[in-house]
Amino acid sequence: MKARIPNANQGGNMMQKLQKMQEQMAQTQAAVEETEFTASAGGGAVEVTVNGKHEIKAIKMQPEVVDPEDIEMLEDLLLASLNEAMRKADETMESEMGKLTGGLNIPGMGGMF
């Protein structure tokens, strides 16, 4: 006599869903990595553009911020705009991945994105 297991196909269906989610996550990650994020500091005096891979793509400065007597201010403006652009990239990655996982905490994937 064979035992009948209800919903025996459910395990395979779950694997298919997980594989699809994994594919969507890879596509989303690739899209965010190619997206450019721009932030500025000093009222637009310094503008930095990074991509989702945290690569700096562009730095633009207004001529008036290039003061050889005040290099420290320029350094501060660069740091502020770089950090803000990186924060935007991270926030977008987390948001987009959260849409796919529905807030699930998937073991082994924490801190991956």
Average pLDDT along the chain, 113 residues, taken 10 residues at a time: 57 83 92 95 94 94 91 93 94 89 63 48
What pLDDT, on the 0 to 100 scale, is given for residue 99? Answer: 87
What pLDDT, on the 0 to 100 scale, is given for residue 29? Answer: 92
Give the residue extent of every domain in the chain.
33-101
What pLDDT, on the 0 to 100 scale, is given for residue 43? Answer: 94
What pLDDT, on the 0 to 100 scale, is given for residue 113? Answer: 44
* Domain 33-101: which CATH number of 3.40.50.2300, 3.30.1310.10, 3.10.129.10, 1.10.274.50: 3.30.1310.10
Residues 6+ positions from 21 with CB-CB distance below 8 Å: 100, 101
d(CA 104, CA 106) in angstroms, rounded, equals: 6
DSSP 3-state of 108: coil
